[in-house]
Homo-oligomer: A and B are copies of this chain.
């Protein structure tokens, strides 16, 4: 049977509050008694019950991290970096993989609120149910940072790459290589990251006076298999299709390129491909993606700093918003067009 704090107090003949003060390293207990209690706790191998401790402190040392797809190396790296940074400051990360489902995210957030987490980081925020969950987080006074997301009507802190610039940069790269007809595979259009990339792409086309074709926008969801599925359609009418394609993340681009190359499409000779993230596998033999780097490690460091500032200054309501500049990384999947793609029919 595990001992409780009451057992310890009874066995030592002191009050529960005295033992509690020692466990929580508070003042009000003389050095001699403190030592006696510490020694006894060690002797009986007393393990303070975290649940009881949380009730005393009102907070755990746990930071919750919600992301959409652990099978996307971008999010796996993100979890890795954030955990690494938070650990330096004594916090543990509980990771929750939501499969991009708002309902599951709200359930996790409720759990985090009820368990008095020290803080929350959301990398999935979208939609109205999330806005309600965020207002619950606020009401419970749990520090919160959105990572690589912004949210309409959200008046808190976030850290993100400038996704509009990233989208602009990708389209501009293809246009300056000489491509005149472009296609786009979206991420999740309800997420600001995906939507802003799309807006940046459109803006570049407009600025360079290139026609934006609604029919050349493919609806994606950031997954590898979706890249394969869209490539299947795309490759069938390759000669009629645009010569350059912007794909909303590296993982979908890898699926797209995997299918295309296995079916004899020459990349970049027949088709230029550019995407976003610069994950580890972007540089893999056979892939060698041209991509827009989001500086994930820097983004994570900054997100942790932003969260810690809230955790450590509970009264501070300052809102910190950081936009990181993306960088173009040119590798093997983009080049000057070698075929002319026919202009769209009027």
Residues of A within 8 A of B (CB): 2, 47-55, 62, 70-71, 73, 76-77, 79-80, 83, 87, 92-97, 104, 107-108, 110-111, 113-116, 139-140, 224, 254, 257-258, 261-262, 280-281, 283-287
**Inter-chain contacts of A76 with B (CB < 8 A):** 70-71, 73, 76
CA distance A62 to B62 in the complex (A): 14
Contact assessment for A92 and B80 in the assembled complex, using a CB-CB cutoff below 8 Å: no
Instruction: Name A71's contact: one of B51, B77, B96, B283 (CB within 8 Å).
Output: B77
**Inter-chain contacts of A110 with B (CB < 8 A):** 47
Contact assessment for B116 and A51 in the assembled complex, using a CB-CB cutoff below 8 Å: yes
Number of copies: 2
Question: What are 22 A-to-B residue pairs whose CB atoms are below 8 Å?
Answer: A47-B110, A49-B114, A50-B115, A51-B115, A62-B111, A70-B70, A70-B95, A71-B80, A73-B73, A76-B76, A79-B97, A92-B96, A93-B97, A94-B94, A95-B95, A95-B96, A95-B97, A115-B115, A224-B280, A258-B283, A284-B287, A286-B287
Most B C-beta atoms less than 10 A away, residue of A62, A83, A94, A258: A94
**Inter-chain contacts of A48 with B (CB < 8 A):** 114
Contact assessment for B73 and A71 in the assembled complex, using a CB-CB cutoff below 8 Å: yes
Contact assessment for A92 and B114 in the assembled complex, using a CB-CB cutoff below 8 Å: no
Instruction: Name A113's contact: one of B47, B80, B114, B258 (CB within 8 Å).
Output: B47
User: In whole Å, how far is A222's beta carbon from the nearest beta carbon of chain B?
Assistant: 14
